[in-house]
Amino acid sequence: MKQFTKRGHIVIERVEPEIDCGRFRAKAVVGDRVEVTCDIFRDGPALMSAVLRYRGPSDSKWQEAPMHHLENDRWYGSFRPTEIGRYRLTIEAWPDSFETWRRGLLKYAEAGADLEAELEAGALLIEARLKGVPAAPRSVLKDAVSRMRAPSATISGAEGLDPRTAPMLSDEVLTIMRTHPDRSGATAYRPILEVTVERERARFGAWYEFFPRSTGTPNRHGTFRTAATHLPRIAEMGFDVIYLPPIHPIGTTNRKGRNNTLTASEGDVGSPWAIGSTEGGHDAVHPDLGTIDDFDEFVSEADRLGLEVALDFAIQCSPDHPWVKEHPDWFHHQPDGSIKYAENPPKKYQDIYPINFDTEDREGLWSELKRILDFWISHGIKVFRVDNPHTKSFHFWEWVIGELTTEHPDLIFLSEAFTKPKVMRYLAKLGFTQSYTYFTWRNSKSELTEYLTELTTSEMRHYFRPNFFANTPDILHEYLQVGGPPAFKIRLVLAAMMSPSYGIYSGYELYENTPVRHGSEEYLNSEKFELKVRDYSAHGSLVPYIRKINDIRKKNPALAELTNLRFHTVDKDNLIAFSKSSPAGDSILVVLNLNPFNWEEGTISVNRSLLGIEPGRPLEMHDLITDATYTWHGDHAYVRLDPAEPAHIFQVRG
């Protein structure tokens, strides 16, 4: 019977990070400290030892890091991955016979008991290990055995203890025995867990979205070449990633006119998301933008300036897409046989056909979609913003991201899924590198505190990487519509300081905030349906402030992390304070006025332990926005912030 054949006494459970019983992988970045905690306990009184075992993609064998007992049977271990790719990890624990004997011997010695039998037992334990110990430490152990077996009168020891216990008290002997343990009776945790280790840009970066077609002159379509002239401007603002909406040919059937009207007028350019025409599909570029060679030059110029190009991957088609004729079975059909256009009630997208992932030709569809991604990867693209992935097959995303990142571990996929929380989390588990979030709709102090606490302290912290976009072509929140320039500064500081990855859509720096109508989050004269030529050199723009914020981000490593965010108490609802600190000792404290209409004053209570600063020491607060320096005494400070300058971003020194 099975119960009579089971062996082992040790239980390993409640392992973190373990996502859905090991079904999914946690995420990390090269150089991170990957921290693993678990409960380890056993029946009986024996002490235990444990190691964290891990293996990188290039490792020929498993490596080990010690695990340390914390309290209440909780254990901790960590390692730093040195390459991108999938790491495997497990935990191994075993009864530590030497440590158990050592603890017992000490208790017997302190009680004045006879130690003959215990000393001999210890000597035998040490002798059993000698074969596996190198020559130099082996001689130390042999000497210890001799001392333990010597008549007590021939050696001297600590007062009150049998001198033969000296080897037991020796740190040198203990270190050797720990380095060469007897792992008989060991238990290894199952299943073996995995961690996806990625490059730094997977977690940290500032994104800028713009339409290349709007970089021409009024009524003249921009090109990749005119778009390239904007790259120095974007780089100078301190952005890392430039995200381009779809750059493919746009259909003419049911083309939308300006402001999403159902009838296009002559010269209307249509929505870039209505992908495909007689000029090609997802692997073609719009002829008015230029050629694929022009695109390659654009990518090369961006790379020269330290910018990465992110492409939109939108799995949908205009009625003119080549797939409509070549693969009609890839689409949804009405009862009369016609292809059904896309809907997201109350929105209707008459110019777009969604893909049917339940097609009988699933293999053909999936292979074609991967081929398209492979095509753009071959043209230097490593970052993809994926449009509405929650409306496509979960199984497809897990497969295609898994296949592509196995071949190209440096790829980044941003999930644009504004949907139900569990669906957003599941997409992140399936392999999406980053995720759009509810940040846009979190504006009050309580909303921000609750949401960021969830992102940084729940299980989500292991796999969900937020990208805080302050606005998008689809989302102009009421806060920006009514709050004027102060609102734009406030939301920029929140996005850039709270999240390692954040983004803005062009026009943000010019305070564009006119909705199509009251109560709508759509822009009037939306760039989604027309060319929009802007004067980015306009006096009074937000450009200098954006440049300052991005410079602060790059110079302060603490801001490249997410889970180090901590809130500090402020006695006013319209004032919020939070900090980030790094192991290197740098700390940033942000105090922000959330009221774009009036100044706010209040008292902040600084939690020094969150900043790693000893009690009682004065705090030197260097404001990185104004370059002013203040000295705070005690744990409370008065702050007053005007909407025009709504933020203190302090570099804290104690």
- Whichever domain contains 136, its CATH number is 1.20.58.80
Task: Please check whether residues 379 and 434 belong to one and the same domain.
Answer: yes
Residues 6+ apart with CB under 8 A from 374: 404
Quote the pLDDT of residue 434: 98
User: What band does 7 get if pLDDT is binned at 50, 70 and 90?
Assistant: low
Tokens matching residue 305: 């300036």
Task: Please check whether residues 154 and 225 belong to one and the same domain.
Answer: no
Pairing of strands 205-209, 501-505: parallel
Quote the pLDDT of residue 167: 77
Residue type, 180: H
- Whichever domain contains 298, its CATH number is 3.20.20.80
- How many structural domains are present in the chain? 4
Tokens matching residue 613: 């600063």
Residues 6+ apart with CB under 8 A from 169: 158
Task: Please check whether residues 128 and 89 belong to one and the same domain.
Answer: no
Tokens matching residue 634: 């005690």
Decide: 575 and 602 in contact? Cβ < 8 Å. Answer: yes
User: What band does 156 get if pLDDT is binned at 50, 70 and 90?
Assistant: very low
Task: Please check whether residues 405 and 298 belong to one and the same domain.
Answer: yes
| Residue 95 confidence (pLDDT) above 50 | yes
- 202-240 pLDDT per residue, tens: 999 999 999 999 999 988 999 999 999 999 999 999 999
Tokens matching residue 258: 């300006």
- 551-600 pLDDT per residue, tens: 999 999 999 999 999 999 999 999 999 999 998 889 999 999 999 999 99
Task: Please check whether residues 307 and 431 belong to one and the same domain.
Answer: yes
- 479-501 pLDDT per residue, tens: 999 999 999 999 999 999 999 99
Quote the pLDDT of residue 155: 42
More confident residue, 148 or 554: 554
| Residue 152 confidence (pLDDT) above 80 | no
Has residue 339 been placed in a domain?
no
Quote the pLDDT of residue 235: 98
| Residue 14 confidence (pLDDT) above 60 | yes
Please state, rounded to an integer, the average pLDDT across all residues of the chain. Answer: 95
| Residue 27 confidence (pLDDT) above 50 | yes
Has residue 445 been placed in a domain?
yes
Last residue of a domain, one of 526, 560, 594: 560
Has residue 142 been placed in a domain?
yes
* Phi, psi torsion values for 479, nearest 5 degrees: -55, -40
What angle do helix axes 421-430 and 394-407 make, rounded to 10 degrees? 30
Positions annotated as catalytic residues are 387, 416
Q: How far is CA 593 from CA 528, 540, 602, in A?
A: 33, 21, 10
User: What band does 114 get if pLDDT is binned at 50, 70 and 90?
Assistant: confident
The edge-to-edge listing of strands for the beta sheet with 68-69 is 10-16, 34-42, 74-79, 68-69
Has residue 79 been placed in a domain?
yes
| Cis peptide preceding 17, ω within 30 of 0 | yes
Region at 57 (left for phi over 0; alpha for psi -120 to 50; beta for the rest): alpha
Domain range spanning residue 622? 566-653
Task: Please check whether residues 397 and 374 belong to one and the same domain.
Answer: yes
Quote the pLDDT of residue 6: 57
Quote the pLDDT of residue 654: 79
| Residue 154 confidence (pLDDT) above 50 | no
Decide: 245 and 517 in contact? Cβ < 8 Å. Answer: no
- 352-389 pLDDT per residue, tens: 999 999 999 999 999 999 999 999 999 999 999 999 99
Element (H, E) at 103: helix 97-110
| Residue 158 confidence (pLDDT) above 90 | no
> How many helices (H) and strands (E) in the chain?
16, 30
Task: Please check whether residues 479 and 493 belong to one and the same domain.
Answer: yes
| Full-model pTM | 0.94
Has residue 328 been placed in a domain?
no
Quote the pLDDT of residue 153: 45
Quote the pLDDT of residue 583: 87
Task: Please check whether residues 85 and 103 belong to one and the same domain.
Answer: no
Quote the pLDDT of residue 112: 84
Task: Please check whether residues 551 and 448 belong to one and the same domain.
Answer: yes
What is the DSSP-derived secondary structure letter of residue 84? S
Q: How far apart are CA 622 and CA 370, in angstroms?
A: 50
Task: Please check whether residues 471 and 585 belong to one and the same domain.
Answer: no
- Whichever domain contains 21, its CATH number is 2.60.40.10
Decide: 496 and 469 in contact? Cβ < 8 Å. Answer: no
Region at 80 (left for phi over 0; alpha for psi -120 to 50; beta for the rest): beta
Element (H, E) at 31: none
% helix, strand, coil for the chain, step of 5: 35, 25, 40
Q: How far apart are CA 133 and CA 379, in angstroms?
A: 55
| Residue 351 confidence (pLDDT) above 90 | yes
Task: Please check whether residues 578 and 537 belong to one and the same domain.
Answer: no
| Residue 137 confidence (pLDDT) above 80 | yes
Has residue 344 been placed in a domain?
no
Percent of the chain whose predicted confidence (pLDDT) is above 70? 97
Last residue of a domain, one of 534, 560, 586: 560
Has residue 249 been placed in a domain?
yes
- 321-332 pLDDT per residue, tens: 999 999 999 999
User: What band does 159 get if pLDDT is binned at 50, 70 and 90?
Assistant: low
Residue whose tokens read 């933008």: 289
User: What band does 188 get if pLDDT is binned at 50, 70 and 90?
Assistant: very high
- Whichever domain contains 603, its CATH number is 2.60.40.1180
Quote the pLDDT of residue 157: 46
Quote the pLDDT of residue 160: 56
Last residue of a domain, one of 560, 589, 613: 560
Residue whose tokens read 């062996």: 7
Task: Please check whether residues 231 and 289 belong to one and the same domain.
Answer: yes
| Residue 144 confidence (pLDDT) above 60 | yes
- 400-416 pLDDT per residue, tens: 999 999 999 999 999 99
Q: In terms of C-beta density within 10 A (0-12 exposed, 13-18 middle, 19 or more buried), how is residue 147 classed?
A: buried
Q: How far apart are CA 465 and CA 308, in angstroms?
A: 19
Has residue 340 been placed in a domain?
no
